[in-house]
Structure 1
């Protein structure tokens, strides 16, 4: 069976609608104030204009779709519609920058400390109206932060939203990702994107600003207009985007997008998820798809208890190859298929619906049902952060990856703000004895000389021979390489790597990138200072082969342990499923992630999985079975270790 690039699931207790007019028809006739929130990337002027146009008419006849069981009778014509643009309520931009910028990384062109705190802390509440709209008027509060300033008296929380609901004081335990607020930093630091911090009431910001005392703008209905993060990144890279709370004309940067905007927006969304009345997917801005809030939450609860896949995406970059394009038939319009995101919680989404679909952030599913999806012990240790990711690195017909490392644990926490670091593994889907994987230092490598030549390559574009300092190993298919934080590594050309790793994914500290050019013709950035501050000199010589290129350990029942280290919180196993035989697994209260790495297709308790596809098995699934519909099949499995 072919690789399915659009896996999708039916909504629970509802159906997916399409179009602005049918969405507006769901609003009650008594509506006084509508809040519509979402990310900064949306064309908010267009959204507000569309809603004002529709809400100033009775909608007695709907040219887009008839009234359905999801809609109310047409709302009355309001004499006046008042628009309140949340972007105009932002604090002055220098103050926003002061509150969100890390002094230690202020001059760093690429990295920033992950933002903590709340989006509401960046709003000047005095710039918002305190009184309800006049009789006969309708108020639309729109833009990022609309939910944060909405008084909740008019909103009803879905009481069935589950044990992990936003608004519940969900203590994650002493080992969980905590906030270590830096002195003088009112937003706080060391708070991972989407992480529900131990002992913290999710409704309150660091200044004690809770929902009920945020602003006093009474709201009848809350909508969430979403656009997946890949759109925001594309807009910023193209020079058209706008960072969160930035004034018009301010040049947007991926640095702020990745490390400031996304963490704040994710936490903001998750904290208000229990109050959303309508979820809108605006990938088609003219005819957005939508799902009622009750159905959204019911569907998320259902997905948190059953095997499911996220929507895969592939990005192109300078070293990218063609394997996924030719082998899987995916991303045929891209120049290459360098980076394949199978399951990366902060960016992945799940498609819900049939012909019409909404894309729901995977992180929202985790936030609404963390104990069911992660398992109680993992939830205790990681809050609402899904801690494992699966992605592809495709260099077939491309070039070498950069040689880089990832931050060691203390540096990741103290400088970059993530409570856990980026340990990785490489599983070779495609390779060969003549292909290479760069891994670990050579015996006796002169680190000072390495630093010197890497710095010269960065500043003077002088090439050097990487193998003078870093070892290489054959890229043998189905071999797993362990890559603890601080270990220099990179895939050579001609390979496909299934990267099974800790979730942090934006901290590749490059020693050398072969003097490649970026899309603007400049030399691609490297991070020599960060990289050498995190280089682990103990990953050297024969110890690299002994500890980081492991041989499988047979566990029995068709299962092997193929990679684990004491310093890594997860392990990687391989399952073999023989044709005609049922392979049994049990989550044991901890989620699994599986990829089919050999064979055409398997069935996982009724869910099909084709070659190269990845699936999440929530902890709540418990016992499940795997069967092969063809010949022998092999799957890679990752799980958090007890």
Structure 2
């Protein structure tokens, strides 16, 4: 049966008109009889222009009387063609559209006609013209170079039926107008303005347009000479570009192409070999067709939104959990306020006129969220225009220049924390060009929206860091101010050192003013709460025990302990290497009400009341949470890399962090024969160790690690001390609970056992940095004496004892273990306690008349403000809880 829904609407938006026409996708041909032109005033307010465009679209569809599959639009630049946002500004046309998201407006008003926003696509007008001409002239299997000649010069390049904007042999973005030519730009010599000025200078006559000059050129030699100069200029530029690009054909369109006969001879004389030249019969027709072709190509490209096997946290608890065993989605049930679900309910809360500022974090599904929001507003007949904050970013080159000193050059992993603010990414003049209209609802959205200067309702959309990374790996995330998606490892480096620090500062500043907060991790919908509800929830959490939401990731050395023992994890992964139990910069916390969940970043707690969380340590650490708990699983896995971490001075000078990465390995479980590599053998010299590392790397041959590094048997509940500079790694067969200071990416891998990463590429080594930070005094007998903790009982009572596991003098935190068969009463003594049930099946934590059950291997937090709390054993046998906090004496001395 023939597909009856095979038609698309193409639109060419010019400076004074819309041209609309239907395209038969089965033949990829324009139905010329359907083409209509509509005059438009490019000085109209945004709402009026958009209403006029929607009216023209509806009229075309109504006349055609058949359903359409999508709409492709050919639009002049500057424009964000991916998202459908106008960047036109200061060109005396369409200035009111600056920052406006046309795609969202069209979708909201045409959702009865189109299945999704993905059925609307935008393309540069020159690109669409060249693409349309390529298909019309059966050139879709080769290379085509085309230009549009009118007010200025547009250009486009097509290879095998696809527009290319980045290629070694074409100008940046495919734009030739601003290339250097005769000490000026190309467009200074090939434009309407050049024609008018040259004609007046040559003849003394002033005319209004090129058409008048063309009419005179039929009889006036001077006028014809001007066209010949124009042809020579065009020929010289296109010849130069053609030598690089090597097109199979040239296509020429635009209003001035109608006078090609007046400059053809001069133009063609520039080519040593005359190319295949096509002069279009209708630029708008080609652009309409090209816009539709572009849309169909996009629709045929399936994109993965998350590169991970991990599940998205369900927005609502389904009630199927029995309550036993490790819980992968812990939540904190709030006592006041509501967690709501659905964009529709959020829209009910928003004003119907005035301004709404939707700020938030990079990596959220901004397009999908805004499409749903616009759809719901339109259903409620709310007249609105959406403005994209990204249109006010500084130029990419300016942002890259600003952040380059903090990206560590060619270093694939490390940079330095950017000290600036989010506002530095935006152009003040562009911001002033985004002007809300009177009498309608104006929405500005995207990271930094609250910096727009608008006054109105503030909505903040947050997203967990793990979800940002899953989307980054799928190519769905761009760094702040960037257009192109970066390599995932470079993108993470940019996020860690630049984007996240400025976004966190902005979030902190905005917290008190947020009217609504949205969880942006869900693709189809959202959960949300009021700003007051969030702030009260944070205060409530700060006075009670809670669990952060952990997340899990496979790795080349990963094992299967977590995969086998933790229910609810995806099984179609090779292993699990890490669990981020509590790494504050990347973990979230989940609040819930009647089963509805909303996740926000852990640092919200610190921004709301760091004193309540950290107590005596707040003055030293500010809003930085000091301690992390995470799992390293090598059970049936592989050794970690041989590594060390930077000294405090090195960390501050090179990376801009406030404190360094001092670690410990607490062995939560271990197989028989498991080992930990720790410290040097007696007599090892730095130079010989470095030589062995470099020789192994250069010659790609294994290094005898045990010749230089000591190994120790690892047993359950052992604690190995790894202050900065200590050479170490976990061997096979361990489930390590890392109890460490919070910094977590500053690992200098010096030897990695000659293996590739999961992506098939070598993992980067940092031999030079690692060796520079090695503590060579950590060797011989001293390792066992100073770097393996010797537990001792410091308090005891009936059926309980408190065991101190001494840490190294370099560690600013201490570790204790509570061992009990019944219950224990503990006092935070104005310190934040981080804890984990390392033996036993289940305990109950009671703090401030509120209880929470903890299962084996779960990590939880008791804020300093809690004071006294009780832990009660609910399982058989003895329970053991490991606990860490900042050393009380360190709170007095600091770093």
TM-score past 0.5 threshold: yes
The corresponding residue for 2:439 is 136
The corresponding residue for 2:715 is 476
Instruction: Report the Cα distance in structure 1 between the residues aligned to 2:434 and 2:715, rounded to whole angstroms.
Output: 68
Higher helix fraction: Structure 1 or Structure 2?
A: 2
Instruction: Report the Cα distance in structure 1 between the residues aligned to 2:434 and 2:642, rounded to whole angstroms.
Output: 58
Instruction: Report the Cα distance in structure 2 between the residues aligned to 1:640 and 1:338, rounded to whole angstroms.
Output: 27
Q: Which moved more, 1:98-107 or 1:487-496?
A: 98-107
Residue of 47, 51, 54 corresponding to 2:369: 47
Kept after mapping to 2: 8 A contact 1:432/1:474: no
Instruction: Report the Cα distance in structure 2 between the residues aligned to 1:24 and 1:456, rounded to whole angstroms.
Output: 63
Instruction: Report the Cα distance in structure 2 between the residues aligned to 1:258 and 1:294, rounded to whole angstroms.
Output: 30
Instruction: Report the Cα distance in structure 2 between the residues aligned to 1:56 and 1:251, rounded to whole angstroms.
Output: 38
The corresponding residue for 1:626 is 871
Q: How far did 1:540 drift?
A: 1.2
The corresponding residue for 1:87 is 390
Instruction: Report the Cα distance in structure 2 between the residues aligned to 1:123 and 1:372, rounded to whole angstroms.
Output: 35
Helix, strand or coil: the match of 1:56?
Answer: helix
Kept after mapping to 2: 8 A contact 1:436/1:474: yes
Helix, strand or coil: the match of 1:529?
Answer: helix
Instruction: Report the Cα distance in structure 2 between the residues aligned to 1:456 and 1:229, rounded to whole angstroms.
Output: 38
Helix, strand or coil: the match of 2:401?
Answer: helix
Q: Which moved more, 1:481-490 or 1:123-132?
A: 123-132
Residue of 522, 530, 537 corresponding to 1:292: 530
Instruction: Report the Cα distance in structure 1 between the residues aligned to 2:660 and 2:363, rounded to whole angstroms.
Output: 29
- Are positions 1:270 and 2:575 aligned together? no
The corresponding residue for 2:215 is none
The corresponding residue for 1:308 is 546
Residue of 781, 784, 791 corresponding to 1:552: 791
The corresponding residue for 1:183 is none
Instruction: Report the Cα distance in structure 2 between the residues aligned to 1:479 and 1:443, rounded to whole angstroms.
Output: 23
Q: Which moved more, 1:130-139 or 1:493-502?
A: 130-139
Kept after mapping to 2: 8 A contact 1:428/1:475: yes
Kept after mapping to 1: 8 A contact 2:679/2:727: yes
Instruction: Report the Cα distance in structure 2 between the residues aligned to 1:140 and 1:507, rounded to whole angstroms.
Output: 41
Q: How far did 1:269 drift?
A: 1.1
Q: Structure 1 residues 520, 614: CA separation in 2 closer, same or farther (over 3 Å shift)?
A: closer
**Structure with the greater alpha carbon radius of gyration:** 2
Q: Structure 1 residues 251, 601: CA separation in 2 closer, same or farther (over 3 Å shift)?
A: closer
Q: How far did 1:608 drift?
A: 1.2
Kept after mapping to 1: 8 A contact 2:412/2:764: no
Kept after mapping to 2: 8 A contact 1:115/1:259: yes
What 5-or-longer segments of structure 2 have no aligned partner? 1-323, 889-895
- Are positions 1:18 and 2:341 aligned together? yes
Q: How far did 1:251 drift?
A: 4.8
Instruction: Report the Cα distance in structure 2 between the residues aligned to 1:565 and 1:448, rounded to whole angstroms.
Output: 26
Kept after mapping to 1: 8 A contact 2:334/2:540: no
Q: How far did 1:366 drift?
A: 1.6
Q: Which moved more, 1:122-131 or 1:498-507?
A: 122-131
Q: Size of the alignment, in residue pairs?
A: 552
Which string of whole-angstrom CA distances, capped at 9 and with x for unpartnered residues, describes residues 21-71 of structure 1? Answer: 111111133x3111111222123233333323332342xxxxxxxxxxxxx
Instruction: Report the Cα distance in structure 2 between the residues aligned to 1:251 and 1:479, rounded to whole angstroms.
Output: 40
Instruction: Report the Cα distance in structure 2 between the residues aligned to 1:119 and 1:622, rounded to whole angstroms.
Output: 37
Kept after mapping to 2: 8 A contact 1:322/1:396: yes
- Are positions 1:6 and 2:249 aligned together? no
Instruction: Report the Cα distance in structure 2 between the residues aligned to 1:330 and 1:467, rounded to whole angstroms.
Output: 38
The corresponding residue for 1:171 is none
Residue of 622, 625, 632 corresponding to 1:386: 625
Q: How does 1:483-562 map to 2 (within 5 A)?
A: 483-557=722-796, 558-562=801-805
Residue of 491, 496, 502 corresponding to 1:258: 496
The corresponding residue for 1:244 is 480
Residue of 607, 617, 623 corresponding to 2:852: 607
Q: How far did 1:108 drift?
A: 0.9
Kept after mapping to 2: 8 A contact 1:482/1:563: no
Residue of 355, 367, 388 corresponding to 2:607: 367
Instruction: Report the Cα distance in structure 1 between the residues aligned to 2:356 and 2:698, rounded to whole angstroms.
Output: 53
Q: How does 1:225-244 map to 2 (within 5 A)?
A: 225-244=461-480
TM-score, normalised with respect to structure 2 = 0.60
Question: What's the C-alpha RMSD, in Å, of the aligned pairs?
Answer: 1.7
The corresponding residue for 1:355 is 595
Which string of whole-angstrom CA distances, capped at 9 and with x for unpartnered residues, describes residues 89-111 of structure 1? Answer: 11222222222233682221111
The corresponding residue for 1:282 is 520
Helix, strand or coil: the match of 1:358?
Answer: strand
Instruction: Report the Cα distance in structure 1 between the residues aligned to 2:697 and 2:802, rounded to whole angstroms.
Output: 45
The corresponding residue for 2:378 is 56
Q: Structure 1 residues 131, 347: CA separation in 2 closer, same or farther (over 3 Å shift)?
A: closer
Q: Structure 1 residues 123, 459: CA separation in 2 closer, same or farther (over 3 Å shift)?
A: farther
Kept after mapping to 2: 8 A contact 1:12/1:298: no
Residue of 808, 812, 819 corresponding to 1:576: 819
Helix, strand or coil: the match of 1:434?
Answer: coil
Kept after mapping to 2: 8 A contact 1:388/1:500: yes
Q: How far did 1:432 drift?
A: 4.5
Instruction: Using CA pairs under 8 Å that are at least 6 residues apart, name the structure with larger relative contact order, 1 or 2.
Output: 1
Which string of whole-angstrom CA distances, capped at 9 and with x for unpartnered residues, describes residues 233-263 of structure 1? Answer: 1222333321122124555522112222222
Instruction: Report the Cα distance in structure 2 between the residues aligned to 1:503 and 1:48, rounded to whole angstroms.
Output: 35
Q: Structure 1 residues 452, 235: CA separation in 2 closer, same or farther (over 3 Å shift)?
A: farther
